[in-house]
């Protein structure tokens, strides 16, 4: 049975999302796909590409609705409208409200160090390959930090800086990470699974 164009578009977007966001791929249980070896690119240029992708998805779903809207099932129509709304809002948020240029705050939301440690919980640790993947992610982390700094510099250049109240605890939080033993990052290597391999 030939897949409907709208379902093909959903599949296209799903694959793009997994490739663009390896952390999400792991969270979604997609452990065996090759692109999970990377970390998400969080540079300003990468956000620009995400905006372009979302606008492309909006254009494609609009074309499908115009050509085949009358033959879509009620469920497909609902999903198509939700899909369009999501991508329209994503592009708008990147273009008009670039919060990615203010990536550090006291809540930890969006802060690279906190996001990375949280993503460790989504990984699978059952085989040698899983642990090799984890080590590659550890080695790639500095690149994501550099991209975060690039966002902050671009934010300063464009006049987007965090309000003082939202970063009042950042220094203490970073010192806590620096002075800590990084147990959350070491713990996967101390598990019975790791010792048994």
Tens of pLDDT, residues 142-174: 999 999 999 999 999 999 998 888 888 888 877
Say yes or no: 10 and 93 in one domain.
Answer: yes
145 and 111 assigned to the same domain: yes
Whether 65 and 124 map to the same domain: the answer is: no
Range among 44-53, 118-127, 130-139 with highest mean pLDDT value: 44-53
User: Domain of 20?
Assistant: 1-97
- State the pLDDT at residue 193: 59
Q: Tell me the whole-structure pTM to 2 decimals.
A: 0.87
Cα(102)–Cα(167) distance, integer angstroms = 10
Residues 152, 87 share a domain = no
Residue closest to 153 by CA, chosen among 101, 97, 94, 93: 101
Indicate whether 131 and 87 sit together in one domain: no
Q: What percent of the chain has pLDDT above 90?
A: 50
Q: Which two tokens stand for residue 66?
A: 């115009």
Three-state DSSP class for residue 95: helix
Q: For residues 104 and 168, state if they share a domain.
A: yes
Instruction: Report the domain count for the chain.
Output: 2
Domain boundary among 76, 97, 118: 97
Q: Check whether residue 53 and residue 135 sit in a common domain.
A: no
- Do the beta carbons of residue 4 and residue 72 sit within 8 Å? yes
Task: Compute the residue count for the chain.
Answer: 197
């Amino acid at each position: 049975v030939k897949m409907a164009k709208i379902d093909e578009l959903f599949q296209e977007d799903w694959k793009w999302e997994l490739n663009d966001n390896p952390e999400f791929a792991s969270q979604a249980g997609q452990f065996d796909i090759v692109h999970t070896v990377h970390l998400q690119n969080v540079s300003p240029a990468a956000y620009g590409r995400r905006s372009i992708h979302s606008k492309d998805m909006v254009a494609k779903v609009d074309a499908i609705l115009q050509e085949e809207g009358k033959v879509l099932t009620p469920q497909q129509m609902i999903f198509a409208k939700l899909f369009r709304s999501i991508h329209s809002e994503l592009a708008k948020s990147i273009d008009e409200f670039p919060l990615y240029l203010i990536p550090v705050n006291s809540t930890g939301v969006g802060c690279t160090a906190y996001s990375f440690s949280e993503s460790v919980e989504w990984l699978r640790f059952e085989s040698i390959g899983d642990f090799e993947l984890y080590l590659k992610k550890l080695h790639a982390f500095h690149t994501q930090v550099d991209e975060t700094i690039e966002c902050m510099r671009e934010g300063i250049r464009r006049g987007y800086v965090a309000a003082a109240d939202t970063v009042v605890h950042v220094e203490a939080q970073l010192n806590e990470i620096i002075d800590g033993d990084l147990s959350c990052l070491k713990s996967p290597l101390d598990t019975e699974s790791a010792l048994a391999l």
